[in-house]
Amino acid sequence: RKEVEQDPGPFNVPEGATVAFNCTYSNSASQSFFWYRQDCRKEPKLLMSVYSSGNEDGRFTAQLNRASQYISLLIRDSKLSDSATYLCVVSLPTNAGKSTFGDGTTLTVKP
Amino acid sequence: DTAVSQTPKYLVTQMGNDKSIKCEQNLGHDTMYWYKQDSKKFLKIMFSYNNKELIINETVPNRFSPKSPDKAHLNLHINSLELGDSAVYFCASSQEWHPNTEAFFGQGTRLTVV
């Protein structure tokens, strides 16, 4: 089983839709969780960290479910500019300096 | 000013050649990384340096040799290039060697081996 797994998609949604991605991780000792965004032919950039209590940043909500070992990203009111690949990142406390990236979920928002 | 800069942005070279990719960060970060992203877009860590010391060396052929002359620089030298080395190589840095720390990526170097 992969350390970090994501549904690759693609997810094709109309503008204004709500879309959610999940990411599962295999190691229960994982400590830190992030969502990164990567536009086509660009570098990954941090979208948001994922906190135990869940966190929200505008239209984006991230949640962590430790019992089931997954994190999620919810995007409300999708915009065309949300089209990108979303990468889930998981880190172990004992492996600082090595974050494991998921393979990414591709989102395309259409007019 | 670009926070993490890599050169060159594109590199096309023949099999068997030796090439280097340079990376510099002006963020004052302690930790730097090299990642490889292949044609299927999988992003895998190759090396991690903290304060110029090698911390992580994933299963990477020893044809790949990172060099960190100082905390702000982490270069990647590749010997005897093979077709399978074609990928995008990303340099990144983070403030400290800690799992909660955000990584900042360079623009990537698109390496094509022919």
* Residue A77 backbone zone (phi > 0: left; psi -120 to 50: alpha; other: beta): left
Query: Which pLDDT tens digit goes with each residue over B61-101?
Result: 999 999 999 999 999 999 999 999 999 999 999 987 777 78
Q: Do A98 and B40 touch (CB under 8 A)?
A: no
The pLDDT tens digits of the residues spanning A43-98 come to: 999 999 998 888 999 999 999 999 999 999 999 999 999 999 999 999 887 666 67
Name the DSSP letter for residue B84: G
Within 8 A of B55 by CB-CB distance, chain A residues are 97
Round to whole Å and give the CA distance between B99 and B84: 30
Cβ-based contacts of B33 with chain A (< 8 Å) = 97
| Alpha-carbon gap, residue A13 to B48, rounded angstroms | 37
Mean pLDDT of A18-29: 94
Which one-letter DSSP state was computed for residue B63?
T
Chain B contact for A65 (CB, 8 A cutoff) = no
Measuring CA to CA, which residue among B92, B95, B97 is closest to residue B37?
B92
User: Looking at residue A66, what DSSP letter applies?
Assistant: T
Angstrom distance (rounded) from CA B79 to CA B30? 27
Hey, are the CB atoms on A98 and B98 less than 8 Å from each other? no
Residue whose pair of structure tokens reads 């505008």 in the numeric block: A58
Query: The tokens of B33 are what?
Result: 């990384």
